[in-house]
């Protein structure tokens, strides 16, 4: 089974980008207990970034066995991609599931995406949505956009435009470009979910346009060309 470029990017074990963003804060007592595993994980990250994949793989494994969530995720990704050794998809899934169950949002999102695509694991939209929503509730922007799409089209969950909008707005605030455009469209049209508000619509179209969305720039230009309504004169007394 070949891996698409998009999936490779999604599943790549780029540890450095995950250290500060993928996990919720760990309580102090737990963090203290995990300190040796964290030090080993940091060492593995350094070796990975230096191209020493075999050494990184072993260090991630040892830290993963000690319960470090980042190490569990990165070890899973290295096993999946065959970095530093022979690919081991089944082992990768086991470690990915452990990281996801430990509350790591990136692991939850990737696990959901794998169920969504039927990649390595069996395709299961309910399982995909379960993991998307777990990650979304912890603030993972891509997961928020993903679960918003599911509620919008009614895929594996009841169609619910109001719930979809709530998740789109969270993702938009997190910087997701497509969600910013969708939120702008909601505020422009209302769709029976929100009260139309052209000021907010312009704001969100502008945010999407600032990220290079040509369609959003076109919408913003069109809205700005429409003159504001002239107030009616006060009746004569």
36-102 — its CATH code? Answer: 1.25.40
Q: Specify whether the CB–CB gap between 126 and 156 falls below 8 A.
A: yes
**For range 182-209, the mean pLDDT:** 95
When mean pLDDT is compared across 29-38, 104-113, 122-131, the lowest value belongs to 29-38
Sequence-distant (6+) residues with CB within 8 A of 156 are: 125, 126, 128, 129, 150
Sequence-distant (6+) residues with CB within 8 A of 143 are: 105, 108, 109, 112, 131, 132, 133, 134, 135, 136
**For range 149-169, the mean pLDDT:** 97
Tell me the pLDDT band of 14, cut-offs 50, 70 and 90. Answer: very low
Residue-averaged pLDDT of the chain: 86
113 is written with which tokens?
A: 């995406």
Q: Specify whether the CB–CB gap between 57 and 85 falls below 8 A.
A: yes
Tokens 């619509």 correspond to 201
214 is written with which tokens?
A: 């040509």
pTM: 0.80
User: pLDDT digit string (tens) for 212-223?
Assistant: 999 999 999 999
Tell me the DSSP string of 142-161: HHHHHHHHHHHHTSSS---H
Distance (Å, rounded) from C-alpha 153 to C-alpha 170?
18
Distance (Å, rounded) from C-alpha 77 to C-alpha 99?
11
With pLDDT > 90 as the criterion, what percentage of the chain qualifies?
A: 78
Residue 59, H or E segment:
helix 53-65
Domain positions in the chain: 36-102
């Amino acid at each position: 089974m070949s891996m698409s470029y998009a999936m490779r990017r999604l599943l790549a074990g780029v540890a450095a980008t995950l250290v500060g963003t993928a996990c919720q804060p760990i309580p102090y007592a737990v963090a203290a207990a995990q300190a040796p595993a964290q030090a080993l994980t940091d060492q593995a990250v350094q070796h990975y970034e230096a191209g020493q994949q075999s050494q990184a793989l072993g260090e991630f494994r040892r830290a993963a066995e000690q319960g470090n969530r980042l190490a569990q995720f990165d070890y899973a990704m290295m096993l999946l991609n065959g970095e530093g050794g022979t690919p081991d998809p089944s082992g990768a899934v086991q470690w990915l599931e452990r990281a996801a169950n430990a509350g790591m949002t990136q692991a939850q999102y990737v696990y959901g995406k794998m169920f969504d695509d039927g990649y390595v694991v069996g395709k299961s939209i309910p399982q995909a949505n379960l993991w998307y929503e777990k990650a979304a509730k912890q603030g993972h922007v891509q997961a928020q956009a993903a679960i918003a799409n599911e509620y919008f089209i009614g895929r594996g969950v009841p169609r619910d435009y109001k719930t979809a909008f709530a998740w789109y707005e969270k993702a938009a605030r997190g910087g997701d470009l497509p969600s910013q455009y969708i939120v702008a469209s909601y505020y422009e049209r209302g769709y029976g979910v929100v009260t139309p508000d052209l000021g907010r619509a312009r704001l969100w179209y502008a945010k999407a346009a600032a990220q290079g969305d040509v369609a959003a720039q076109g919408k913003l230009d069109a809205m700005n060309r429409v003159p504001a309504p002239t107030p009616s004169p006060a009746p004569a007394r």
